[in-house]
């Protein structure tokens, strides 16, 4: 399948700078979330299960953000007006992230992408990709808080293709670990030396 390129998405750009996080640090962090090869395998299946449901998942997540003024604020102007173009541009990359989380190997290139996503939530790089006139950063506490909704809301989508309950549960646990692992990586530029 060929897709139109997604503006601002440069996963496969060989010129992308390496993450300051080493693959050794990633391994130790993954162990702390209990992530194993079995989870990587379960995510592969999840990638197939979710492939044609991405837009519906994004509808749920955008509905959640859109219904909370204090969250929608991060996609809005400093005066509080939601920026439709910004919401739309991020949405495409967010959809691709679901696929990447399930299908990409968690290697040095994946780490480089995690660092980029991290920085795009911070004052260093938020708004730059889309030229958005929005508030300067997403507070770290909300990134961590979202581990719950981004995990919990995924279960019905993982169950939607009729897989046996045990397999759905394995996919869901793998997804939970993958989200936790990524938010832990994204906290790096917020905590610097204490990361």
Q: Which residues bind ligand HEM (CB under 6 A)?
A: 8-9, 65, 71, 74-75, 90, 93-94, 97, 117, 120-121, 126-127, 129-130, 132, 138, 142-143, 146-147, 150, 179, 183
Does 128 engage in binding with a second copy (CB under 8 A)? no
Min. distance of Cβ 65 from ligand HEM in angstroms? 5
Whether residue 65 contacts residue 75, with contact meaning beta carbons closer than 8 Å, is answered with yes
Q: Token pair 């507070």 is at which residue?
A: 139
Stretch that binds a second copy, among 5-13, 52-60, 65-73, 78-86 (CB under 8 A): 65-73
CB-nearer residue toward a second copy: 49 or 185: 185
CB-nearer residue toward a second copy: 62 or 146: 146
Residue 8 Rama label (left phi>0; alpha psi -120 to 50; beta): left
CB-nearer residue toward ligand HEM: 89 or 168: 89
| Among a second copy, ligand HEM, none, residue 87 binds (CB under 5-8 Å by kind) | none
- Residues near 135 by beta carbon (within 8 Å), at least 6 away in sequence: 73, 74, 76, 77, 78, 126
Please tell me the distance from the alpha carbon of residue 68 to that of residue 95, in angstroms, as a whole number: 21
In terms of DSSP H, where are the helices of 6-163? 23-32, 37-50, 54-66, 69-72, 84-103, 108-121, 140-145, 147-152, 155-159
Does 36 engage in binding with a second copy (CB under 8 A)? no
Does 190 engage in binding with a second copy (CB under 8 A)? yes
- Residues near 125 by beta carbon (within 8 Å), at least 6 away in sequence: 116, 119
Figure out which of the listed residues 8, 29, 40, 61 binds a second copy, where binding follows CB under 8 A.
Answer: 29
Does 177 engage in binding with a second copy (CB under 8 A)? yes
| DSSP character string of 11-40 | TT-TTSPPPSS-HHHHHHHHHHTT--HHHH
Number of residues that bind a second copy (CB under 8 A): 38
- Residues engaged in binding a second copy (CB under 8 A): 28-29, 31-34, 68, 70-71, 122-123, 137, 139-142, 144-149, 151-152, 173, 176-177, 180-181, 183-185, 187-188, 190-191, 194-195
């Amino acid at each position: 399948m060929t897709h139109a390129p997604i503006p601002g998405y440069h996963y496969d750009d060989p010129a992308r700078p390496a993450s300051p996080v080493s693959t050794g640090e990633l391994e130790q962090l993954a162990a702390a979330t209990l992530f194993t090869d079995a989870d990587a395998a379960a995510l592969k299946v999840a990638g197939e299960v979710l492939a044609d449901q991405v837009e519906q998942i994004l509808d749920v997540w955008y509905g959640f953000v859109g219904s909370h003024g204090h969250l929608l604020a991060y996609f809005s102007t400093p005066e509080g007006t939601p920026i439709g173009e910004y919401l739309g541009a991020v949405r495409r990359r967010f959809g691709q992230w679901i696929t990447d989380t399930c299908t990409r190997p968690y290697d040095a290139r994946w780490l480089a992408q995690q660092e980029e996503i991290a920085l795009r939530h911070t004052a260093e790089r938020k708004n730059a990709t889309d030229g958005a006139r929005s508030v300067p950063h997403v507070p770290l506490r909300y990134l961590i808080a979202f581990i719950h909704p981004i995990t919990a809301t995924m279960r019905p989508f993982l169950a939607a293709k009729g897989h046996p309950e045990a397999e759905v549960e394995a996919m869901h646990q793998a997804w939970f670990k993958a989200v936790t692992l990524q938010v832990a990586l994204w906290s790096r530029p917020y905590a610097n030396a204490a990361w």
